[in-house]
């Protein structure tokens, strides 16, 4: 499988590094990148071919990964208009809808939209995948294989739900970081040293997440198991419940999803 990346930023670099670890040959990966420093870095770090403009070799790929910023996508795709025949096009640009991408590619519809998150940078991401109806199973399999280089993935059949995916997992790491901040600050307020509170907060999140991921039981069951009636955990959870914690999370995701939908519409009109 020959892969060309349009854009060589952080997420593209994470994917390239992951693909090479999976056994992909550097000779099968190319990058189209405007900035010379970025091209030099990609060549030095991964041994891949990096060019400033898409040439015949870059176009002779099986998969084209769109990894430029959403606001730059329409202009960047001008070089590919009318040049695509059988290539599978994969967009990792947040918010861009399949219909808009197809329009900018002159009606080309062999498209998959993906929404990774920042833990992909260390191979621990989760990605929402949504394919145009014209993409065959072989294309879906190819995308899943590529995204496996940076973590796990979940297929979303209704593109309208991609805004919810963005709100939950795309923006989700920020919520977790915010919670870690709050845990650390609360620990410091109780007299712990900053480095101690930080270490305890981070590893608690890491350990609890790993436990949830490896347990067949629902998170609610795991929570109940560590919550003794009248105990310290129950006292803390009572405060969170009284403060409307579950409802607040629901409102936060709803706001993110609504903003994602709005941004997608703006990007489609090339206004964002």
CA atoms within 13 A on the CB side of 28: 13
What is this structure's pTM? 0.90
Q: Are strands 111-115 and 125-131 parallel, antiparallel or unpaired?
A: antiparallel
pLDDT at position 56: 87
Contact 159, 130 (CB under 8 A): yes
> Does the pLDDT of residue 6 top 50, yes or no?
yes
> Does the pLDDT of residue 78 top 70, yes or no?
yes
> Does the pLDDT of residue 271 top 80, yes or no?
no
Yes or no: domain 3-159 corresponds to CATH 3.40.50.720:
yes
pLDDT at position 30: 95
Strands of the sheet containing 151-155, edge to edge, are 49-51, 29-32, 3-6, 63-66, 88-91, 111-115, 125-131, 151-155
Domain locations in the chain as residue ranges: 3-159, 172-261
What tens digit of pLDDT does each residue of 178-206 get? Answer: 999 999 999 999 999 999 999 999 999 99
Per the rule left: phi > 0, alpha: psi between -120 and 50, beta: everything else, 91 is beta
pLDDT at position 58: 86
What tens digit of pLDDT does each residue of 147-183 get? Answer: 999 999 999 999 999 999 999 999 999 999 999 999 9
For all residues of the chain together, what is the average pLDDT? 94
Q: Which CATH superfamily is domain 172-261 in?
A: ProC C-terminal domain-like (1.10.3730.10)
Mean pLDDT throughout 65-86?
Answer: 90
Contact 168, 143 (CB under 8 A): no
Q: What are phi and psi of 184, to 5 degrees?
A: -60, -45
DSSP string, 87-102: -EEEE--TT--HHHHH
pLDDT at position 80: 86
DSSP state of 215: -
pLDDT at position 192: 98
pLDDT at position 270: 64
DSSP state of 54: -
Contact 98, 75 (CB under 8 A): no
pLDDT level of residue 272 (50, 70, 90 thresholds): very low
Per-position b or e across 228-255, b if 16+ CB within 10 A of its CB: eeeeeeeeebeeeeeeeeeeeeeeebee
What tens digit of pLDDT does each residue of 217-241 get? Answer: 999 999 999 999 999 999 999 999 9
């Amino acid at each position: 499988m020959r892969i060309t990346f349009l854009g060589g930023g952080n997420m593209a670099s994470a994917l390239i590094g992951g693909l090479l670890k999976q056994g992909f040959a550097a000779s099968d990966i190319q990058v189209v990148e405007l900035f010379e420093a970025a091209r030099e870095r990609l060549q030095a770090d991964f041994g891949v071919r990096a060019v400033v403009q898409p040439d015949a070799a870059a176009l002779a790929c099986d998969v084209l990964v769109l990894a430029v910023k959403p606001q730059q996508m329409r202009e960047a795709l001008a070089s590919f208009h009318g040049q695509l025949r059988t290539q599978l096009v994969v967009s990792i640009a947040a918010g861009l809808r399949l219909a808009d991408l197809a329009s900018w590619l002159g009606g080309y519809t062999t498209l998959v939209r993906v929404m990774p998150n920042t833990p992909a940078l260390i191979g621990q991401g989760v990605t929402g995948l949504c394919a145009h109806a014209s993409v065959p199973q072989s294309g879906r399999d190819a995308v899943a294989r590529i995204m496996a280089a940076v973590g796990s993935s979940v297929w979303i059949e209704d593109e309208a739900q991609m805004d919810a995916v963005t709100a939950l997992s795309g923006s989700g790491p920020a919520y977790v970081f915010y919670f870690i901040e709050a845990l650390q600050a609360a620990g410091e307020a109780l007299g712990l040293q900053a480095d101690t509170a930080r270490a305890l907060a981070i590893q608690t999140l890491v350990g609890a997440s790993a436990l949830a991921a490896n347990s067949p039981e629902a998170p609610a069951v795991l929570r109940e198991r560590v919550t003794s009636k009248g105990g310290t955990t129950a006292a803390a959870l009572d405060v969170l419940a009284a403060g409307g914690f579950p409802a607040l999370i629901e409102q936060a995701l709803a706001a993110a999803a609504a903003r994602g939908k709005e941004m997608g519409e703006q990007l489609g009109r090339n206004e964002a």
